[in-house]
Amino acid sequence: MKKFFTLLLALVMTAAIGVTMSGCSKELIGFDIELAKAVADKLGVGVSFVEINWDTKEAELDNRSIDAAWNGFTYTKARDEGYFDEDRNQQIGGLDFTGMYMENKQVAVVKKENAEKFGTLEGLKSAKSMVAEAGSAGFTTIQDVFEKEPVPAKKQLDIFTEVSSGASDVGVIDAVMAGYYITSETGAYHESLSVVEIEGVEKEFYAVGCREKSNLPAVFNHVLAGLWADGTIRKIGEKYGLQDVLVNGFGEYDENYQFPTDGDYAAVLKAKKFVVGYTVFAPMAYKG
């Protein structure tokens, strides 16, 4: 597990330098953004991106404001099958997901001067306050691993300012994001924050989330299988330093696949585009 953690941070750190130095147009870029565009191109439709509150992604899907939550979305059985969220006092999901495409894990971020104090699991447990994005895997990690009530952040970026300001002792975020913003020498928080591995936290996997009973996951899986086979996904991954944490959860490409003629896919064809919900989360989706 430690080997995976070190590898992931190193890969993203290296790529962040190149992307940061070459990107000055401030357009929306990132691994998930480019992958969604590649899928749209293969389908012959457009794709639009809408920044959302990640805590309400299920509602955004249900009311059809978006067709997919495609932004480093951690697959869990609970999200797939549905669960009752006591914090929000409502039933959440279930959702339908594509196959998994990337490994990740949750890590802690602390002030550099507190790295030794919070450098162990016991040290982290002694933190008076812990912050994570509402509705995220990090939020659940704080509840399950540390048995604390997290301070809810509207988006993962807010975690950095929350910890930097001293408002919270510890933040819990995705390792891929920590690598970009902290471990990289060009990262905005490289000088002020440190990354701490959370002992016992297992690897997790990203997938694209869609409405329950939507036929888009099957369509996306078909296209993604082709993009895996022709090397497109790896090429995008290499650009963002993620090539060694990619996984093929789509299966083999089926040349005889029959596209559906109804449901969400028919609606996408009629609209000539699908809509992706995202939050700012480098290197997956950000302005560069």
Q: What pTM value is reported for the model?
A: 0.89
- Report d(CA 104, CA 245) in Å as an integer: 8
Arithmetic mean of pLDDT, 149-153: 97
Q: What is the pLDDT of residues 158-167, one digit of tens each?
A: 999 999 999 9
Q: What is the pLDDT of residues 82-137, one digit of tens each?
A: 877 776 676 666 899 999 999 999 999 999 999 999 999 999 999 999 999 999 99
Determine the 3-state secondary structure of 55 from DSSP: helix
- The more confident residue out of 58 and 1 is 58
- Other CB atoms within 10 A of residue 167 CB: 11
- Report d(CA 228, CA 42) in Å as an integer: 13
Closest CA to 104 of 85, 134, 76: 76
- The more confident residue out of 187 and 247 is 247
Arithmetic mean of pLDDT, 67-94: 84
Q: What is the pLDDT of residues 2-37, one digit of tens each?
A: 555 555 555 555 555 445 444 455 899 999 999 999
- Report d(CA 201, CA 138) in Å as an integer: 11
- Dihedral of alpha carbons 277, 142, 246, 180, sign: positive
Domains of the chain: residue spans and CATH: 2-102+205-287 (3.40.190.10), 106-201 (3.40.190.10)
Closest CA to 206 of 35, 86, 83: 35
pLDDT at res. 22: 43
- Report d(CA 148, CA 141) in Å as an integer: 9
Closest CA to 136 of 61, 58, 38, 214: 58
What's the mean pLDDT when you consider all of the chain?
Answer: 91
- Other CB atoms within 10 A of residue 213 CB: 10
pLDDT band at 149 (very low <50, low <70, confident <90, very high): very high
